[in-house]
Every structure is written in structure tokens, then in C-alpha cells.
Amino acid sequence: MERMRDISETHAGAFTGRRYLVTGGSRGIAAAIASALGEAGAQVIINHAARLDAAAGQPDAAEKLARHIAARGQKPELLDADLAQPGAGAALAQAVLAGGPVDGVILSASAQINKPLPEQSAAEIALQLQVNLTANLSLLQVLAPVMAARGFGRVLSIGSVQERSPSPEMPVYAMTKAAMRNLMDNLAGQYAARGVTFNTLSPGLIETDRNAFRRADPAAWAELTRRANPLGRAGQPDEMVAPALMFLSPAAGFLTGAALMITGGAHLGLQAAPAVD
């Protein structure tokens, strides 16, 4: 929290008067970004799915985050929309616009099935395609032209190290993240002259409730994190905040079509190594 406070103070006032949508914004990396945006003066729209928050054992996650942001002087908006449902992306976009102009979108909501491809059902594959691709496409079909018409916009896709180093354990998820990276690059060129930037932030192993099942065995988790990257540890959600705010800042108008790996070095294909004297 101290790290996030320092980052928010660095950007204090920079986002005032701007309105940002954060999908899947109630937990994990997205919640850390939403909180920091609010503390930096932005009007934050927190998209969440109450059904999924409850399933994760955090039924009031969105409300808690909203209260945290409100305590710092902002008035966040909560939009409950389950992007796993057909048509949810377009409906969410319209709900956002009903509340006013939008200046930025953080595409963080995603579905991840940890199974080799032969073991994934058609429904599991369809879920990942719907949340990770179709819903994002639908959102951008509506919101990108609106931002372009106003001459300003920031779109940040939360990707994954698996764009570059796909895991056999989650092949469909990895594929969708690579596809989103391609889409961001494509749209970056199309919208550059109209003031809308498109970038990707690609985390490695980050300690969130999504991988809480792995921490049921502390020894196994310790070994996993030791081998995950050269730093030999999992990242924390608030370590994604500084690079996210860099991409989202109104001052970052010359930064588009970029992808930043925040992985502890995992994308280098190396494991933890002893310190060099």
C-alpha cells in the first residue's frame, strides 16, 4: 500500500477530470490499478461480476474498493456486468457512455482454464474466447470511435508473459492473450493520429486470488515462485501500478503500440540465479 501511495502522489492531479473504465476491476491487478487511478484524481468505473467475486470468496470486493477510493475524495462508479455472457461487452460499453464521456479503458477481465488442450471442454474454450476476446472486441467497437471523436483516449490491455512463453497448462488463455497483443498493435496504428493510444502490460506470475489454490501447499508454492523467474518470487499487484499509470497518463501521447513485460525476468527464459558479486 505504501508503494501505491507513493505512485499516486507522483501522479497527483494528472488524471483529474478524466474517466476510466477498468474491466474485472474489483480484484487483483485491476483493483490495484483502479485504486491508484482514483487516488491520482481519475473518475473510475469499476466493472465487476458479483457472481465471480462471490465465487472467489470476496462477495463485497467491489464495494470495498469503491469505499477505499471514495475515502480519498473520488466517487467511483460500479457496473456489475458478467463479460462471460453473450452481448455483455456491448452492453457494458453503452452503460459506461450513459454516465458520460470515457477517456480510457483498462481491459483486465479474463477467464483462465488450467488444463491441457485435450482436457478442455467446448464450454471452457468458449468461455475463454468470450471473456478474453469477444467482450473486449465489443467494448472497443463502441468506445474506441467515441474516444477518437473527442481526440483523446488511452487503452491498456492487461496481457501475460504467456504471449511470449505459452504454458501447456493453459493453451487457450495464452492464445487469447497473444491475440489481444496483436489487436492492440493493429489498433495503435489505426488510431494514432486521432489521439487514442493502445498498449499492452504483460505480467508474469503475480500473487492474486486467481492462483490462491497453488498456495494451499506452501512448499510447492515456494518452489514454484523460486523457479518462476530470475528474481525467484511472485510479483504483487501493486507492482503493476507504476507502469500502468505511465501508459494511461494524459502525458503519454507519444507512447502507443508498446508492450511491456513485467515478469521478474521470466520472459527471458531464465530461472532464479545466484547473486553476482
The structure's pTM equals: 0.90
Copy the grid coordinates of residue 268. 527471458
- For the purposes of burial, counting CB atoms within 10 Å of the CB of 8, is it exposed (0-12), middle (13-18) or buried (19 or more)? buried
**pLDDT tens digits for range 126-136:** 999 999 999 99
Percent of the residues in the chain that have a pLDDT greater than 70, as a whole number: 93
Whole-number pLDDT of residue 275 = 45
Mean pLDDT over residues 151-169, rounded?
94
Question: What's the rounded Cα separation, in Å, for the pair 158 and 147?
Answer: 19
Helix residue ranges per DSSP H, the chain: 2-10, 28-39, 50-55, 61-70, 88-98, 122-129, 135-150, 171-191, 218-228, 241-248
Mean pLDDT over residues 40-69, rounded?
95
Q: Is the pLDDT of residue 159 over 70?
A: yes
- Closest to 118 in 3D by CA, of 172, 165, 71, 157: 172
Q: How confident is the model at residue 118 (pLDDT cuts 50, 70, 90)?
A: very high
Whole-number pLDDT of residue 147 = 98
Q: How confident is the model at residue 22 (pLDDT cuts 50, 70, 90)?
A: very high
Q: 15's torsion region: left (phi>0), alpha (psi -120 to 50) or beta?
A: alpha
CB neighbourhood size of 173 (10 A): 22
Whole-number pLDDT of residue 176 = 98
Superfamily assignment of 2-268 in CATH?
Answer: NAD(P)-binding Rossmann-like Domain (3.40.50.720)
**Lowest mean pLDDT: which of 22-26, 183-187, 190-194, 272-276?**
272-276
Query: To which residue does cell 521478474 refer?
Result: 264
- For the purposes of burial, counting CB atoms within 10 Å of the CB of 225, is it exposed (0-12), middle (13-18) or buried (19 or more)? buried
Beta sheet of 77-80, edge-to-edge order: 77-80, 43-48, 19-22, 104-107, 153-158, 196-203, 259-262
Q: How confident is the model at residue 264 (pLDDT cuts 50, 70, 90)?
A: confident
**Residues belonging to the chain:** 277
Residue scoring higher pLDDT (198 or 72): 198
Give rounded-to-5 percent helix, strand, coil for the chain.
50, 15, 35
Write down the mean pLDDT value for the chain. 91
The domain locations on the chain are 2-268
- Closest to 144 in 3D by CA, of 198, 100, 92: 198
Percent of the residues in the chain that have a pLDDT greater than 90, as a whole number: 75
Q: How confident is the model at residue 7 (pLDDT cuts 50, 70, 90)?
A: low
Q: Is the pLDDT of residue 206 over 50?
A: yes
Question: What's the rounded Cα separation, in Å, for the pair 133 and 127?
Answer: 10
Mean pLDDT over residues 181-207, rounded?
96
Question: What's the rounded Cα separation, in Å, for the pair 22 and 156?
Answer: 10
Whole-number pLDDT of residue 266 = 79
Q: Is the pLDDT of residue 274 over 50?
A: no
CB 210 within 8 A of CB 220: no
Question: What's the rounded Cα separation, in Å, for the pair 204 and 157?
Answer: 14
Mean pLDDT over residues 51-67, rounded?
94
Whole-number pLDDT of residue 277 = 42
Rank 69-73, 133-137, 211-215 by mean pLDDT and report only the highest: 133-137
Mean pLDDT over residues 107-135, rounded?
97
